[in-house]
Amino acid sequence: MKTTKFTAFTVVLLFVTITAASALGQSPAPMASPLTVPPAPVRQPAEFDQMTGALIEYSGSSPPFGISYEVIAEMAENVTVCTIVASTSEKNTVLSLYTSHGIDTSHCTFLIAPTNSWWTRDYGPWFIFTGNNEQGIVDFTYNRPRPNDDVIPGAYAANQSIPYYFMSLTHSGGDYMTDGEGRAISTTLVWEENPGMTHAQINQTVHDYLGINTYYVVPDVNGDYIEHIDCWGKYLSPDTILIRSVPTSHQQYDEIEAAASYFKNQTSCYGTPYHVVRVYTPLNEPYTNSLILDNKVLVPIMGDQYDAAALQAYRDAMPGYEVLGFTGSWQSTDALHCRVMGITDRYMLYIHHIPLLNQTANPSGFPVTAYVHAYSGQSLTPGSPSLIYRVNGGAWSTLQMTSMGNENYTATIPSQPGGSVVSYYIHAEDESGRSANHPYIGADDAYTFTVIGQPNHAPLKPQTPEGNATGKPKQMYSFTTVTKDPDNDSLMYQWDWGDGTLSEWLGPYVSGTVASGTHEWAKKGSYDVRVKAKDTYGLESPWSDPLPVKMPLGLGYSWSLRGLLKERFPVLFWLLTHHAQW
């Protein structure tokens, strides 16, 4: 039944495309026929995975590509730029333009198909790898009335002979980010535009077609009409998310900070809290609307005083990447990421690994395991994969990883004394000529762990919080607690305010010294305040016993019995106060 629906939908769009193309005297691009659900398990690569191309559109207007020739030239240095043009005549025009602007045309290809716009990110193909270990393309209903744009994924799939799947979901690429390991983020726009589906059905759909196991659907924090996640947030790596920041006077400050706090308290695919980094956008600059393309990060800049800090924020968060800024016809809701769609390497060399956290000293050393798969079908080169490590910033050493079977490999970093800081990354090569690192950039962003000299112990359960047990909403109250760490490590504290909000980790505090937190409640109610501690190695204590707190007093009112009688029943109050001792 689903297949029939998808096919019928595609036929309608294809008919509209043919009609529009015929009116222009053009031949429509061949269209792939949609298949059923892709074979499981499905993995959808991230933007920071290996790319071989970038998809853009030639509109013929000004600017003709939505991006500058400088951006196109920069991309063509590393990958193939595929330009969508409406005809062979337009292809020749574009080739002439590229040549005159110094763009390497040997790294340029073309898809001849009519389009409506240059927002290839929103309507372009979504790439997956299926359980058959081959690349596929997933299409969806583009959430704009642009029928030519909407059939581009099928046209590209036919052009490249890639299996093509249609997902029954209205969506857009600007409102979707994935970590490449089964997690993804969209705004609640995906719920609003699919009213005939329950949230569970949407989750099941992205699981079946994209391999998404955790789908974060969050409110849009910008208050814009477009409600796209790339206007304010972005995955930089599997455990790092970039979120814009604004001054406290900004009208969306609370919403943006709530989003940052939310993701700090979510768990990445590595089993650790997300590392949330910020980029300052006081004038609604579109700095998050950037493009990661292999080892480059192309950032839209505005020519204002905040550009340098924005570029530095990316360099700090993504060491080893080349971070470049480009001006353009950018808007807060429409910039570089919107106008370029990355093309995932069809034959990528994939490495999966969960980084080591801090390790207790072990005479046997520290085993590192990884899964390595070559989608090229070629064998790994001799000596590959390898584990490359160093201790306390010294020289790098290389260990060949040995096969554990089923494309899993292992190597053991030798034992190190307590207090040692170990950095490492994994490198692989295959006979197709491809190479890959984990983390992606390799040595410059290597994983790091500290060797703990003695077995570490979690902090003790904190004392029940002390502070006001009653108060008024919208007033700030302070609370204190204390606990000790058996290893005398410094401690951070996190407060649960009982109203659905958690504080950030506050501190550090010396073990055994009083820690404090402040909070204000938005409305009347009864709340249980509790707190937990975390040591410098990440071990957490149990939650404390709760302190019950009541916020019964509304602002400007006295809710004592005497005050209530005087305000609500003045005659009775007069009689009582004149005839009884109060």
Residue positions annotated with a catalytic role: 338
Q: Where are the alpha helices (DSSP H) in 144-187?
A: 147-150, 152-160
Q: Which whole-number Å values give the CA distances from 325 to 291, 307, 519, 565, in the listed order?
A: 11, 8, 40, 67
Residues 6+ apart with CB under 8 A from 433: none
Asked if 347 and 434 touch (Cβ cutoff 8 Å), the reply is yes
Pairing assessment for the beta strands 447-452 and 366-374 based on DSSP bridges: unpaired
Closest CA to 153 of 143, 141, 145, 135: 141
Task: Please give the structure tokens belonging to residue 34.
Answer: 């949609």
Residues 6+ apart with CB under 8 A from 286: 231, 300, 302, 330, 331, 332, 333, 334, 335, 336
Residues 6+ apart with CB under 8 A from 221: 232, 252, 255, 256, 258, 259
Q: How many helices (H) and strands (E) would you count in the chain? A: 13, 33
Closest CA to 468 of 497, 490, 445, 508: 497
Residues 6+ apart with CB under 8 A from 73: 101, 102, 103, 104
User: Would you give the end-to-end CA distance of the chain in angstroms?
Assistant: 78
Asked if 79 and 106 touch (Cβ cutoff 8 Å), the reply is no
Task: Please give the structure tokens belonging to residue 532.
Answer: 């937990």
Closest CA to 325 of 317, 315, 334: 315
What's the CA gap between 416 and 422, in Å, rounded? 9
State the CB neighbour count (10 A cutoff) for residue 451: 20
DSSP 360: E
Amino acid at 405: G
Burial class of residue 317 (count of CB atoms within 10 Å of its CB; 0-12, 13-18, 19+): buried
What's the CA gap between 499 and 525, in Å, rounded? 9
Task: Please give the structure tokens belonging to residue 200.
Answer: 């569970």
Burial class of residue 393 (count of CB atoms within 10 Å of its CB; 0-12, 13-18, 19+): exposed
- Cα dihedral sign, 257-316-300-344: negative
